[in-house]
Amino acid sequence: MSSAKFPMRLDKFLAHATELSRELARRALRGKRVTVNDEVVKSASLSITIEDTVMLDDEVVEIRGPRYFMLYKPEGYVCATTDGDYPTVLDLMGFDGDDLSIAGRLDKDTTGLVLLSDDGQWVHSIISPRRECMKTYVAELDAPIDEAIVQRFSEGFTLRNEVKPTRPAMLRSLQGQQVEVSIGEGRYHQVKRMFAACGRHVEKLHRIKVGGIELDTALAPGEYRALTRAEIGDVSS
């Protein structure tokens, strides 16, 4: 669980307690939508203690449990909290300097489902190699697959410069050179390296599922939403 530490800046408090990013929280402050102890407050840096009553649009705001989000990651963003060269998924979501963790990274050019939370245990249950949380991708290859590749994936094999063989992965053809692949690990560039070892180049990679959580088809690239309670419990599926 995330632990809220007081005193806390007002914009951080609002970002913790609501679905607003810090940037949207500051906008709400500028729009005079926030009161502290019945006074309209516009200062994002105002220090809030546990004794203060904060209201947004006339509703009391309280620190609640941890946050859980799914993001449809577009190309061009890195899965990091900060990066000197490229925009991060947190920049995209407007969560600058936030304490959300990314539950399983995607490469800059990979698109699709990214889960984020400030619940450390939950994130760990997704990324811990011991938990073998399944991740499913759709990959566009430069050539079709054959039975030998499907078998290699399902048996596991040793990647270049590694010692431990890959765990069994499921691979099936969709149409043309498009395939669906499910792996229970998260090694560096794993999907691309597994295909490269089988003589195939991954031209596009898109993640559609993590554990039992599927990328919401209503989300456009760059959009995100809070996970439902059922989805939060679905990571181990």
- Note the residues at the interface with ligand URA (CB under 6 A): 106-107, 110, 189-192, 205
Closest approach of ligand URA to the CB of residue 41, in Å: 42
- CB closer to ligand URA, 20 vs 79: 79
Tokens of 194: 């597994």
Closest approach of ligand URA to the CB of residue 144, in Å: 19
**From the CB of residue 228, how many other CB atoms can be counted at a distance below 10 Å?**
13
Closest approach of ligand URA to the CB of residue 192, in Å: 4
Determine whether 107 is an active site residue.
Answer: yes
Closest approach of ligand URA to the CB of residue 189, in Å: 4
- CB closer to ligand URA, 177 vs 190: 190
Query: What order do you get walking across the sheet with 59-61 strand by strand?
Result: 39-40, 34-36, 54-56, 59-61
Residue among 107, 118, 119, 142 flagged as catalytic = 107
Question: Across-strand partners of 135?
Answer: 183, 210
Residues tagged active-site: 107
